[in-house]
């Protein structure tokens, strides 16, 4: 079991008070808070060995390069990739998906081909494919969900066909918390001859990830949701696929030799990492994986399940509160989307903030999903390793206060 009291001491921001109340941070699906060890890693880089990587032979450059590549090794192990050649550093999940759309999609898709998505996708895993499909004359197909927000397997099988070149799916919905059975979907997709991209932004920070076991072709995730700095993201892709892909961006470091007439590209993973990278923050991202491993991903998952179960049980006892997503906590992450009857989510979030409670309100970058659910917006509370049931009680009490303010029975 997690020692949440001890863990909370590692996060300096949790000592803050908001409007005279202790901070209750339930916006982890948007970004996580950072432990002191991650903050110190950034500070240490800039204070002691700030230099560019891969380009110098002096001491600072060597130290920076070594720490930077050690971080890549840590991330490789964190998701159990075969090689660091398969770990591409990007600035976020969104850039990673765009990299695949540009470098793989524009070279493999043609008119009439299909890309299979779900109605639950984050805009980052929808808009790049819309642009690509329009450019190439390809078609987007969509997997539906059932009444609880679970992916409809029959809809998946119905839409998967010989024209499907890519299946791009979220692992955990950032709105409903639904955990999709990606290993099963990947197997079916590969039997169909389709490649698979998995958006792991909400999964990788919270549960053990094994890319070799699920056998995905691409996996994207972002550092700022897993205790790391903003501006850090990762694309995992199978080495064979990356070798066949052209560069996404051109410039320094993605080259081996340059002549006036031609350029010979660098080896993996550097072929896809043009320009000066975000060195200090990627070093800190490696530190974040070390911290998560020290706590234990299995323990984090178990803790979040307990928080989610407690929230669903207690919230369901409050009248005129509608909860979205699967009822089975084994099939959902630590995300609870809800609405209070007759109260706009922005009003709910504003009143919550009066009591120091940070939640997200709006469409959470899933407008098509909200349209599918016939909702304008929703409230979202999302949990992580430093949250407690006492904090959830604060949220539940805040719901009662909102109902009182707006006269909801």
Q: What does the DSSP assignment read for 167-202?
A: EEEESB-TTT-BB--HHHHHHHHHHTT-EEEEE-TT
Statement: residue 215 has pLDDT above 80:
yes
The helix (H) or strand (E) run that includes residue 141 is strand 139-143
Cα(222)–Cα(375) distance, rounded to whole angstroms? 28
Residue 378 domain-assigned (yes or no):
yes
In this prediction, residues 171-186 reach a mean pLDDT of 98
What pLDDT, on a 0 to 100 scale, did the predictor assign at position 20? Answer: 97
Statement: residue 208 has pLDDT above 90:
yes
Q: What is the CATH number of the domain that holds 112?
A: 3.40.640.10
Same domain, 263 and 390: no
Sorting pLDDT into bands at 50, 70 and 90, what band is 335?
A: very high
Number of domains in the chain: 2
Sorting pLDDT into bands at 50, 70 and 90, what band is 2?
A: confident
CB 175 within 8 A of CB 364: yes
What pLDDT, on a 0 to 100 scale, did the predictor assign at position 360? Answer: 98
Structure tokens at 297: 């991903």
Same domain, 172 and 301: no
pLDDT digits (tens, 9 = 90+) for 342-371: 999 999 999 999 999 999 999 999 999 999
Please state the pTM of the whole predicted model: 0.97
Sorting pLDDT into bands at 50, 70 and 90, what band is 308?
A: very high
Same domain, 374 and 308: yes
Same domain, 199 and 321: no
Statement: residue 1 has pLDDT above 80:
no
Statement: residue 55 has pLDDT above 90:
no
Of the three residues 267, 293, 319, the one that is the final residue of a domain is 293
Same domain, 283 and 372: no
Statement: residue 213 has pLDDT above 80:
yes
In this prediction, residues 204-222 reach a mean pLDDT of 98
Same domain, 118 and 262: yes
Mean pLDDT across the chain: 97
Alpha helices (runs of H) in 238-329, residue ranges in sequence order: 239-244, 279-295, 297-316
In this prediction, residues 380-389 reach a mean pLDDT of 98
Q: What percent of the chain has pLDDT over 90?
A: 98
Catalytic residues: 365
Parent domain of 357: 4-28+296-406
Of the three residues 277, 293, 309, the one that is the final residue of a domain is 293
In this prediction, residues 115-143 reach a mean pLDDT of 98
Sorting pLDDT into bands at 50, 70 and 90, what band is 56?
A: confident
Residue 35 domain-assigned (yes or no):
no
Buried-state track 324-345, b at ≥16 Cβ within 10 A, e below 16: bbbeebebbbbbbbbbbeebeb
Q: What is the CATH number of the domain that holds 400?
A: 3.90.1150.10
In this prediction, residues 328-338 reach a mean pLDDT of 97
CB 330 within 8 A of CB 181: no
Residue 92 domain-assigned (yes or no):
yes
In this prediction, residues 8-18 reach a mean pLDDT of 98
What pLDDT, on a 0 to 100 scale, did the predictor assign at position 46? Answer: 98
Of the three residues 271, 293, 315, the one that is the final residue of a domain is 293
């Amino acid at each position: 079991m997690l020692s949440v009291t001890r863990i909370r001491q590692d996060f300096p921001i949790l000592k803050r008070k908001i409007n005279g109340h202790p901070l209750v941070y339930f916006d982890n699906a948007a970004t996580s808070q950072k432990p002191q060890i991650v903050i110190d890693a950034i500070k240490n880089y800039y204070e002691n060995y700030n230099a560019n990587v891969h380009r110098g032979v002096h001491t600072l450059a060597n130290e920076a390069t070594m720490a930077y590549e050690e971080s890549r090794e840590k991330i490789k192990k964190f998701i159990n990739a075969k090689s660091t050649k398969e770990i591409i550093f990007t600035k976020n999940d969104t850039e990673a998906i765009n990299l695949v759309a540009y470098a793989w999609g524009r070279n493999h898709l043609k008119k009439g081909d299909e890309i299979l998505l779900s109605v639950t996708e984050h805009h980052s895993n929808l808009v790049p494919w819309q642009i690509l499909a329009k450019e190439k004359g390809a078609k987007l197909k969509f997997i539906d969900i059932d009444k609880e927000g679970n992916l409809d397997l029959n809809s998946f099988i119905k839409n998967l066909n010989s024209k499907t070149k890519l299946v791009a799916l979220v692992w955990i919905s950032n709105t409903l918390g639904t955990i999709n059975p990606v290993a099963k979907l990947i197997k079916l997709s590969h039997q169909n001859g389709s490649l698979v991209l998995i958006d792991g932004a909400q999964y990788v920070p919270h549960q053990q990830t094994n890319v070799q076991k699920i056998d995905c072709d691409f996996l994207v995730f972002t550092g700022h949701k897993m205790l790391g700095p903003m501006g850090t993201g990762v694309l995992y892709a199978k080495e064979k696929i990356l070798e066949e892909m052209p560069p996404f961006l051109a410039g320094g470091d993605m080259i081996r030799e340059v002549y006036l007439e031609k350029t010979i590209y660098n080896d993996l993973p550097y072929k896809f990492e043009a320009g000066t990278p975000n060195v200090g923050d990627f070093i800190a991202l490696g530190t974040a994986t070390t911290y998560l491993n020290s706590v234990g991903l299995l323990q984090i998952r178990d803790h979040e399940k307990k928080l989610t179960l407690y929230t669903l049980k207690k919230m369901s006892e409050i009248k005129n509160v509608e909860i979205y997503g699967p009822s089975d906590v084994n099939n959902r992450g630590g995300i609870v989307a809800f609405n209070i009857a007759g109260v706009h989510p922005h009003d709910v979030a504003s009143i919550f903030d009066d009591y120091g409670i940070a939640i997200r309100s709006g469409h959470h970058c899933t407008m098509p999903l909200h349209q599918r659910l016939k909702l304008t917006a929703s409230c979202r509370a999302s949990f992580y390793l430093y949250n407690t049931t006492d904090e959830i009680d604060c949220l539940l009490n805040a719901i009662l206060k909102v109902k009182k303010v707006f006269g909801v029975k």
